[in-house]
Each structure stands twice: as structure tokens, then as C-alpha cells.
């Protein structure tokens, strides 16, 4: 029998349907010579550091750097049951061949191979590599299975990515956490991303707004403007000179231009546009796209290509026909699609661009969640727009002279809307607010014409700071990071991959290093401090982009994995040896301001909260403290909270409910006060008096 391993249960069911493996068993489906089972994401991961040595349980500078040799993996506890099912199947005498059917990309390859290796399987591997979950695509994929060895380099790249993230994350986080006595998460990709956020906020906060002025001369529909003036008096002088005067039309330049239709979506451009139009986060867009993919309505979403392969012309033509019949906004659109312009084999890597599938015609689109409907329409509209005609327009540029100064007026007239008509109709159908720039219609003027009695005015403007990053602009910045330092021949640039950028943003927010405010993504104060103290090595977008490029070269077989890992280990070792101590004041910058809960009953100093309890700031000379794990509160099954401590210190007595009596097995309410022996602090219990 042949064992097929998918990445998720839903994908496994779709594959089993095509293979006619319709008998349900524990953790798998069987039939027709196949066993179809699944992972649940990652089932195997890298071991924690203390597996290599017990001493790593404690975070100490002298234990760094941690450089595992050899590397070890472990079965993840939350999904151990499914791993055991797969291991049993992989080692079963019934199974002669294993087919890897996880997602056709770097992470999908890693998910499968780690399970295969951890189970100790040595059976031959075939690879299913598809870009659509349609039945026809699955069937075609099984007719054209690849030999598993063709993807050994892809696995090596994925393994290097995993190990590099571990090395930079574990060593960087421990190093700076120990030095600054505060949990400071460091990541190979997330730290350079945070650095971009912090740099942008610095530019905004340091920006000094400066005024500038422009002089206008006007007549009928004409409004021509001068160059900028930094001095208002100079602008007003020109304005007075031009008022009611003569102006000469020095030149009238007309030029026919065109704007090419947009490209199809890769994941990053889809995430950016969904954020701009709908406010979806990058992670939400990825989740909705993955759901549509698993429902067989769009092709594989984790792609970095914006083109189709040259054998897809007829398929694309049929999909466009389905879109025009099934998607409401598209039914009235009449155009002749040019499929050839979106086809380029040289620009398709692992997967082609994201497009709808032929399943549109048979699917209940109205039954989809509204979020998925919107995303599907967005992808459908892009296929139509990308295959539509270019937009043609004519620009007019008029130069007018007056009082030895030049004034310029520009206009634009669209002659053939082409793809822009489709985009406009799509946005109108979804009631998306559009910032539609109204083009000025200029009067008909001739070179050499004299304008009599022109009016003039001065307008005041201000220079603008850079804008806060939104999810849209941050994804774009991550994609372009390091590009200026790399040649055009480099295939993959930037921070992370289209599939991982959303997770990086979410990690920064979860770690408290960044936050969402309205549509903006801003660094938190801790995020700003972290970037201030980190060296360029770990926050350099250029270096991280170079690593991503090298990982791509490993996947293509053009670079040795060992060379890449040696470079990462060397960088980590240098980081630890260079940063071994910080000054006393610098080490305190992450300390939170301590809240005083009340005055110490022994010495009158403030009582503050620490990790283990509430202590007097007077230190050892006083010795007063209330410990969170004290016998009374543990027996009473109640937490000693700051509010209770505050009541004890300020009012000498506090009413506490929900105390547990081991004797009666019931909860009770009592007044607590402190009894201080000078050596020990005990709690005195008084019960509320019952009303007669």
C-alpha cells in the first residue's frame, strides 16, 4: 500500500476523495491501495536547550553561546497522538511507499520530513506538488508524482531556517535578558522588522514641520502654480506683481500615455490590498485565503509569484468565464481578456499567482463567511483587471510666464479606461470608499497666447513627516528590505517570506514590542528601548535579507547548508563575546516604576510588590514582608493580591471573601489584620458580626 501524508485533516479528506480511500480508521482513511493520513501542522520540533545540558535551565551569561552539536528534535506534546499514528503507519509492513502531500513549499516539506526522520522511516518517498485543491489538480498531481530526492535541497533550506531562528532567538534573547534583567525577545526576522518600526517613529518624532508657499495665477478654469517659496514675503511680492497683469503661454505640451494593467496577486500584494480596502490584518488575509484554498475556490496562497505558467492559457480563459458568471460585480463587464500578458514561466517559482479555480461554478458562494466572500471577489477582480487592456490617457502640461517667473498647470484626460473601469466597478460593488482624484480639465490654450488681467493668490503649505506604518506599508517595507544592496538577479529578497511575514507582525504584538492603533502599527516603549540597546548585527534588515537569499540558494542547490550554518554560529558567538556587560544605569532602563502599596508598619518606608511577595523598601534592615505563598492564604485557597495588601497597610483591616475552610469544606468571609511579632508577620481573622 501507499501511505499519503497531508498537512491537515481537511486536505487529507480532499485527497482521499480523489483516491477513493473512503474507509475511515483511527487517524487515517484507507481504500483503493492507499492509506491517507495527516499531520496537524508541526508534529516534531527542535528540542529546548536544557535537553543538551541541564545547566541551560538557568539563564546565565557564562553558558552562552548555546551551539547544539548534533541537533536534536522532539515530538511536540500537544499532537503526540497523531504522531504515534503516523509513526505506526510509516513503519508498517503494509506500507511500501510514502507520498509527501503536505503544502508544496518550504515549511510543508519540513513538516513531513521531520516526522519521517523522527519515526526512523527509510521507505522511498514520492512528492505531490500541486497549486490547487481541485479534484482535477489532485488527480493530475498523482499522475505526475516527483521523486522525493528532488526536494532534498528544499528540506535542507527549511532545516537551516529552523536552526538559524533557534540560534539567534535562544542566544540573543538570553544574552540581552541577562544583561538588562528584563525579558527581551530577539528574533532573526522579527528584530529587524521592529527596527524598521522604531526608525520610522524616530523620523516622525524628530520631524520639524516647515511652511512653504506657492503663487497661483488664475483665469477661468486655469490654475497655474509657481515653484515653492520658503519665504512668504517673496511669494507675496510675486503675487502682487502678477495681480491683474499679463501672462504669456510659453508652451503647451500634450503627450499620449498608457498605464499597464496590474499584475496578479502573490500573497504579499493580496495581504496589502486586503488591508487597504477591508482593514484585514496580514494574518487574517492568510487565514481566509487558506480557508478558500482548502474549499478548492482559489489556488495555493503562499506564493511569491504574480504570473501564471504558459500552459495555463485555456484554464485561465475558462476561469474568467466562471468569474463573469458567478461573481455579481463581474456579470456586466464586457472585455476581451489577454491571457498572454500574465503568463511567464521564468517568473513562476514554486507556485504561480493566486487566482480563483473552476470550482466557482459549482460552489455556494453566498454560503461563505462574508470575510471569505470579500477576499474571493478581490482575487477574482484582479484576474479580470490583469488580463484587461491598458489604460490610455493624454496629459497636458502648460508653462506660463508672468513677471519673470514660470507657472505650471497640468491636466489628464482618459481616452480608454481599460483595466481601470473594472477596478472602479469592483470597488463600487463593495461600497468601498475610494479616494478618487478628479483630474483638472484645462482650457484650450495656444503657445504664444497672451492672457490679460490674470488673478493671483498665495497658498500656504507645510512639509509632511513620514506616515506611520500600516500593515500594508509594513509588508511592503519587509518585502523590499535590503533590495538596494542586491542585484536584480536575486530571486528572493526582503525580511521573511510571503508565508511568514504575517506571523512576524503578530509575534511582535504578542511580545508587547509593537501595537495596533487604528490602522497603524507602532512600536511600544519597550520595543523602542530594545532596538536602542541591540547591536546592528541582530537588527540589520540587510543582513537578514541576505540570509533569506542564501536560504533560497540552498533550496536551489547552489549553496552548501553547512556554510550557511557556520556563518550563523560565528555571528552568534561574536555577539556573545562582544556584549558581556552593561553599565549600572543602562541596566536599569527596563525596570518598571514600582507602585508603593502603603507604608511599612515597622519602619514607615514604602511597601512594593516583587515577584515572590510584598516587601519593605527599607531592605534587610527592616525585613518586613508578606509572601504570596504564605501558609494562611494557601490553606484558604485565596491569592494574596495587591488590593488586599493595600487594605491591610492603609486601613489596618480588610474584608476578604471567598476564603476556604478545610474544616467545613466551605467558603467564608472574614476581616483580616496583621499581627507582627517583629520576626514573623501573621494574619488575624475576625468574623463579621451578625445582625440581631
Q: CATH number, domain at 84? A: 3.40.50.140
Distance CA 630, CA 645 (A): 13
Q: Would residue 83 show up in a list of annotated catalytic residues for this protein? A: no
pLDDT at 363 over 80: yes
Does residue 691 belong to any structural domain of this protein?
A: no
Confidence of residue 97 (pLDDT cuts 50, 70, 90): very high
Specify whether 194 is located in the same domain as 222.
no
Does residue 398 belong to any structural domain of this protein?
A: yes
CB-based contacts of 78, cutoff 8 Å, min separation 6: none
Per the residue annotation, which of 300, 393, 419, 469 is the catalytic one?
300
Does residue 413 belong to any structural domain of this protein?
A: yes
Specify whether 24 is located in the same domain as 140.
yes
Distance CA 543, CA 587 (A): 27
For 493-547, how does the pLDDT look when each residue is reduced to its tens digit (9 = 90+)?
688 888 889 999 999 998 889 999 988 999 999 899 999 989 888 888 888 888 9
Specify whether 354 is located in the same domain as 404.
no
Does residue 191 belong to any structural domain of this protein?
A: yes
pLDDT of residue 487: 46
Specify whether 508 is located in the same domain as 615.
no
Does residue 53 belong to any structural domain of this protein?
A: yes
Q: How many domains does the chain have?
A: 5
- Show which of 99, 125, 144 is a domain's final residue: 144
pLDDT at 207 over 90: yes
Does residue 162 belong to any structural domain of this protein?
A: no
- Show which of 550, 585, 620 is a domain's final residue: 585
- Show which of 536, 565, 585 is a domain's final residue: 585
For 636-681, how does the pLDDT look when each residue is reduced to its tens digit (9 = 90+)?
999 999 999 999 998 888 999 999 998 888 999 999 999 888 778 8
Specify whether 84 is located in the same domain as 124.
yes
Specify whether 238 is located in the same domain as 93.
no
Specify whether 189 is located in the same domain as 315.
no
- Looking from the CA of 538 toward its CB, the CA atoms found within 13 Å total 33
For 14-38, how does the pLDDT look when each residue is reduced to its tens digit (9 = 90+)?
999 999 999 999 999 999 999 999 9
Does residue 483 belong to any structural domain of this protein?
A: no
pLDDT of residue 488: 44
678: left (phi over 0), alpha (psi -120 to 50) or beta: left
Least confident of 75-89, 421-435, 597-611, 677-691: 421-435
Specify whether 83 is located in the same domain as 132.
yes
Distance CA 505, CA 170 (A): 19
Average pLDDT, stretch 354-375? 90
* CATH number for the domain that contains residue 520: 1.10.460.10
CB-based contacts of 659, cutoff 8 Å, min separation 6: 636, 637, 638, 667, 668, 669, 670
Strand 520-523 versus strand 596-599 pairing type: unpaired
Specify whether 501 is located in the same domain as 630.
no
Does residue 591 belong to any structural domain of this protein?
A: no
* CATH number for the domain that contains residue 358: 1.10.290.10
The residue range of the domain holding 109 is 2-144
Specify whether 273 is located in the same domain as 385.
yes
* CATH number for the domain that contains residue 409: 2.70.20.10
Specify whether 240 is located in the same domain as 197.
no
Specify whether 356 is located in the same domain as 397.
no
- The β-bridge partners of 37 are 5, 28
* This model's pTM is above 0.95: no
Question: In the chain, count of helices (H) and strands (E)?
Answer: 21, 24
Amino acid at each position: 500500500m501507499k501511505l499519503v501524508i497531508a498537512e491537515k485533516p481537511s486536505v487529507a479528506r480532499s485527497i482521499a476523495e480523489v483516491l477513493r480511500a473512503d474507509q475511515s480508521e483511527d487517524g487515517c482513511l484507507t481504500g483503493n491501495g492507499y492509506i491517507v493520513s495527516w499531520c496537524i501542522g508541526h508534529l516534531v520540533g527542535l528540542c529546548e536547550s536544557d535537553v543538551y545540558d541541564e545547566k541551560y535551565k538557568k539563564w546565565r551569561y557564562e553558558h552562552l553561546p548555546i551551539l547544539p552539536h548534533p541537533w536534536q528534535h522532539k515530538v511536540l506534546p500537544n499532537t503526540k497522538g497523531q504522531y504515534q499514528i503516523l509513526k505506526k503507519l510509516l513503519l508498517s509492513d503494509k506500507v511500501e511507499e510514502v507520498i509527501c502531500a503536505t503544502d508544496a513549499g518550504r515549511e510543508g516539506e519540513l513538516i513531513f520530513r521531520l516526522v519521517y526522520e523522527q519515526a526512523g522511516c527509510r521507505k522511498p518517498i514520492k512528492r505531490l506538488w500541486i497549486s490547487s485543491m481541485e479534484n482535477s489538480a489532485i488527480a493530475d498531481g498523482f499522475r505526475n508524482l516527483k521523486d522525493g530526492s528532488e526536494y532534498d535541497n528544499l528540506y535542507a533550506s527549511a532545516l537551516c531556517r529552523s536552526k538559524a531562528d533557534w540560534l539567534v532567538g535562544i542566544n540573543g534573547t538570553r544574552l540581552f535578558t541577562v544583561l538588562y534583567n528584563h525579558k527581551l525577545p530577539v528574533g532573526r526576522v522579527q528584530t529587524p522588522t521592529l527596527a524598521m518600526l522604531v526608525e520610522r517613529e524616530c523620523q516622525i518624532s524628530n520631524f520639524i514641520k516647515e511652511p512653504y508657499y506657492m503663487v497661483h495665477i488664475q483665469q477661468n478654469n486655469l490654475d497655474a502654480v509657481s515653484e515653492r517659496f520658503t519665504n512668504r514675503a517673496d511669494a507675496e511680492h510675486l503675487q502682487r506683481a502678477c495681480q491683474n497683469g499679463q501672462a504669456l503661454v510659453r508652451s503647451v505640451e500634450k503627450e499620449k500615455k498608457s498605464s499597464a494593467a496590474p499584475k496578479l496577486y502573490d500573497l504579499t500584494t493580496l495581504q496589502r490590498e486586503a488591508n487597504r480596502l477591508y482593514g484585514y490584518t496580514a494574518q487574517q488575509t492568510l487565514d481566509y485565503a487558506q480557508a478558500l484554498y482548502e474549499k478548492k475556490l482559489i489556488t495555493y496562497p503562499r506564493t511569491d509569484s504574480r504570473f501564471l505558467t504558459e500552459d495555463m492559457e485555456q484554464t485561465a480563459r475558462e476561469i474568467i468565464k466562471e468569474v463573469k458568471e458567478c461573481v455579481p460585480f463581474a456579470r456586466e463587464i464586457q472585455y476581451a481578456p489577454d491571457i498572454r500578458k500574465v503568463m511567464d514561466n521564468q517568473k513562476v517559482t514554486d507556485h504561480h499567482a493566486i487566482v480563483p479555480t473552476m470550482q466557482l461554478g459549482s460552489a455556494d458562494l453566498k454560503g461563505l463567511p462574508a470575510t471569505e466572500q470579500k477576499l474571493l471577489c478581490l482575487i477574482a477582480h484582479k484576474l479580470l483587471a490583469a488580463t484587461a487592456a491598458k489604460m490610455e490617457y493624454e496629459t497636458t502640461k502648460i508653462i506660463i510666464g508672468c513677471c519673470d517667473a514660470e507657472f505650471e498647470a497640468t491636466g489628464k484626460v482618459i481616452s480608454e479606461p481599460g483595466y481601470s473601469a473594472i477596478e472602479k466597478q469592483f470597488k463600487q460593488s463593495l461600497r468601498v470608499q475610494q479616494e478618487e482624484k478628479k483630474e483638472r480639465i484645462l482650457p484650450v490654450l495656444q503657445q504664444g497666447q497672451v492672457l490679460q488681467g490674470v488673478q493671483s493668490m498665495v497658498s500656504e503649505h507645510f512639509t509632511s513627516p513620514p506616515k506611520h506604518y500600516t500593515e500594508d506599508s509594513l509588508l511592503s517595507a519587509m518585502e523590499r528590505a535590503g533590495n538596494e544592496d542586491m542585484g536584480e538577479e536575486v530571486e528572493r529578497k526582503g525580511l521573511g517570506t510571503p508565508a511568514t511575514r504575517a506571523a512576524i507582525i503578530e509575534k511582535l504584538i504578542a511580545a508587547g514590542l509593537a501595537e495596533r492603533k487604528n490602522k497603524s502599527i507602532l512600536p511600544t516603549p519597550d520595543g523602542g528601548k530594545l532596538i536602542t540597546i541591540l547591536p546592528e548585527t541582530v537588527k540589520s534588515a540587510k543582513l537578514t535579507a541576505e540570509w533569506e537569499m542564501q536560504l533560497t540558494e540552498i533550496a536551489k542547490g547552489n549553496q552548501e547548508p553547512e556554510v550557511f550554518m557556520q556563518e550563523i554560529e560565528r555571528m552568534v558567538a561574536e555577539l556573545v563575546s562582544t556584549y558581556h556587560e552593561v553599565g549600572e544605569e543602562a541596566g536599569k532602563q527596563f525596570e518598571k516604576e514600582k507602585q508603593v502599596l502603603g507604608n511599612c508598619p515597622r519602619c514607615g518606608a514604602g511597601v512594593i510588590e516583587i515577584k515572590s511577595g510584598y516587601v519593605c523598601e527599607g531592605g534587610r534592615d527592616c525585613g518586613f514582608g508578606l509572601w504570596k505563598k504564605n501558609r494562611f492564604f494557601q490553606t484558604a485557597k485565596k491569592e494574596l493580591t495587591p488590593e488586599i495588601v493595600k487594605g491591610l497597610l492603609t486601613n489596618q483591616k480588610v474584608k476578604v471573601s471567598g476564603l476556604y475552610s478545610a474544616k467545613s469544606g466551605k467558603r467564608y468571609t472574614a476581616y483580616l489584620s496583621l499581627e507582627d511579632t517583629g520576626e514573623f508577620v501573621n494574619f488575624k481573622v475576625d468574623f463579621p458580626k451578625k445582625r440581631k
